[in-house]
């Protein structure tokens, strides 16, 4: 295959707005699920060759990395989070790359920000206040994150509370038991109820793919969440033993592609957990470009769930500008 050195332009907040109708809640199509088959060995072979098929170097690589910055859900989900930490994270989201590097790259006027800031419900109000006027949405993890096993009523109330506090995006976790026992009706009903509780806030359904057993379960759970109106499907909470991987991502992206072909509706994708290097981000960008096309390389349809990725991207951009690698502590997260 001919090497592609195209340089996707980083996306400004004004360009990141959704330009399509929000995904509606549809019917549960069990016949569609029954015909799903996934060839694991073929998926793994395809995933292993994706990045080797495209050489992204020099200026093109810098362009891809700037795009990656605009796709990050900058995240802090630690037990020792504080108001101060969240405020610093929001400041980093507003200005993710040092101004001198942006000037050297010729993109100072872009107004580059991250795609969102993701926090626990406890810090939604703090993040909303810190991001006021920036256009950066706040995403809240909800529904008993990360296990998703708290009482159903409590999970719904948690969504409603985060929306009331100003969260524009809600990252929910599904009940893994429903997928493991093939109880697709229960999974559909659950996600549909979560979607209704979100109101105008966008819903991202976390599948916790490392706990679903098979790629076939991953594919079918992806379809069910989309049928129930999930605006995004997401790999992981970041707390499982196995988080985002390219084979799992390829499986979920193929489900998105098939759903779009059948219904005409757009659904976003968010890999999360373990994506910590600039090289990782390039691999996922290549996956999206190869499988779904350029339209899925914008913040309204693709996000990285990450906490340390941004620091490594900034290091790589400094290397591109100066020819020297800097220490990671020179690129603080917040």
Enumerate the active-site residues.
171, 234, 270
Q: What is the side-by-side strand order in the sheet with 116-120?
A: 268-270, 232-234, 202-206, 169-173, 138-141, 116-120, 72-75, 304-306
Q: How far apart are CA 325 and CA 310, in angstroms?
A: 15
Please give the structure tokens belonging to residue 125: 């109000």
List alpha helices for the chain, DSSP H.
30-34, 40-50, 58-70, 83-94, 99-105, 124-130, 152-164, 176-180, 184-198, 215-227, 246-263, 278-291, 309-322
Comparing CA positions, the residue from 74, 76, 75 lying closest to residue 96 is: 74
- What's the token pair of residue 197? 């509780």
What backbone phi and psi angles, to 5 degrees, belong to 205?
-95, 120
Q: Which helix (H) or strand (E) holds 73?
A: strand 72-75
Q: Are 304 and 73 in contact (CB under 8 A)?
A: yes
Q: How far apart are the first and last CA of the chain?
A: 41
Angle between helices 278-291 and 246-263 (to 10 degrees): 30
Phi, psi of 279 (to 5 degrees): -60, -40
Dihedral angle over CA of 171, 47, 274, 210, nearest 10: 60
Q: What angle do CA 195, 197, 202 make, to 5 degrees?
A: 50
d(CA 67, CA 281): 10
């Amino acid at each position: 295959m001919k090497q592609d050195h195209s340089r996707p332009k980083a996306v400004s907040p004004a360009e990141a707005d959704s330009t399509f109708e929000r995904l509606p809640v549809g019917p549960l199509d069990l016949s569609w699920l029954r015909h799903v088959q996934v060839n694991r060995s073929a998926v793994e072979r395809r995933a292993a060759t994706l990045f080797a098929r495209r050489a992204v170097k020099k200026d093109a690589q810098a362009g891809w990395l700037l795009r990656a910055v605009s796709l990050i859900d900058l995240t802090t989900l630690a037990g020792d989070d504080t108001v101060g930490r969240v405020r610093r994270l929001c400041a980093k989201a507003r200005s993710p790359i040092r101004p001198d590097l942006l000037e050297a790259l010729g993109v100072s006027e872009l107004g580059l920000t991250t795609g969102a800031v993701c926090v626990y419900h406890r810090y939604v109000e703090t993040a909303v206040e810190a991001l006021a006027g920036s256009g950066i949405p706040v995403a809240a993890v909800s529904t008993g994150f990360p296990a998703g096993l708290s009482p159903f009523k409590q999970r719904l109330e948690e969504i409603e509370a985060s929306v009331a506090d100003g969260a524009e995006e809600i990252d929910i976790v599904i009940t893994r038991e429903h997928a493991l026992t093939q109880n697709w009706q229960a999974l559909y009903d659950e996600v549909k109820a979560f979607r209704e509780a979100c109101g105008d806030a966008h819903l991202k359904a976390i599948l916790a793919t490392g706990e679903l057993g098979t790629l076939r379960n991953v594919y079918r759970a992806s379809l069910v969440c989309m049928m129930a109106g999930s605006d995004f499907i997401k790999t992981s909470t970041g707390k499982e033993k196995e988080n985002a991987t390219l084979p799992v991502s390829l499986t979920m992206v193929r489900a998105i592609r098939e759903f779009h072909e059948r219904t005409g509706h757009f659904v976003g994708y968010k890999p999360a957990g373990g994506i910590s290097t600039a090289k990782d981000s390039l691999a996922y960008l290549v996956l999206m470009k190869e499988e779904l096309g350029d339209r899925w390389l914008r913040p309204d349809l693709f996000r990285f769930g990450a906490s340390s990725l941004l620091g490594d991207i900034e290091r790589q951009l400094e290397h591109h500008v100066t020819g020297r690698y800097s220490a990671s502590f020179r690129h603080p997260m917040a």
